[in-house]
């Protein structure tokens, strides 16, 4: 269960898991903490990162960061770092259009 930090206005969550789906190359981070409850989906939460600039899950810095951690521990991970282009949609699509 989550617990409040002694010296801050934040909580520490338990049950964090990270993996890369080899079919999609997306990196998943799940939080299996019972305090993260939703009436329709149950306990926990999931965050997904990928390297596709056209995706809502695009976050190249976190993709590289979590990919490095997976690789460091011998897990399935991206083969190489991805370019860390802009995440803001207006700048991201401008850059994609300029590359076409």
Whether the full predicted model's pTM is greater than 0.85, yes or no, is no
Is the confidence at residue 91, as pLDDT, over 80?
no
Task: Extract the runs of DSSP E, i.e. beta strands, from the chain.
Answer: 3-4, 11-12, 16-21, 26-31, 37-38, 42-43, 45-49
Is the confidence at residue 100, as pLDDT, over 60?
no
Cα separation, 38 vs 45, in Å, equals: 9
Strand 11-12 to strand 26-31: parallel, antiparallel, or no bridges (unpaired)?
unpaired
Cα separation, 28 vs 62, in Å, equals: 11
3-state helix, strand, coil split of the chain in percent (to 5) is: 25, 25, 50
Is the confidence at residue 41, as pLDDT, over 90?
no
Confidence class of residue 97 from pLDDT cuts 50, 70 and 90?
low
pLDDT tens figures, 42-84: 889 999 999 998 888 999 999 999 999 999 999 999 999 998 8
Is the confidence at residue 94, as pLDDT, over 70?
no
């Amino acid at each position: 269960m989550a617990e409040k930090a002694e010296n801050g206005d934040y909580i520490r969550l338990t049950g964090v898991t990270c993996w890369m789906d080899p079919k999609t190359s997306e990196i998943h981070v799940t939080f299996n903490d019972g305090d993260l409850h939703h009436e329709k989906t149950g306990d926990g939460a999931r965050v997904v990162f990928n390297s596709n600039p056209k995706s809502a899950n695009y976050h190249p810095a976190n993709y590289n960061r979590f990919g490095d951690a997976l690789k460091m521990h011998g897990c399935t991970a991206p083969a190489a770092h991805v370019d860390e282009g802009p995440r803001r949609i207006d700048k991201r699509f401008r850059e994609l259009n300029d590359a076409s």
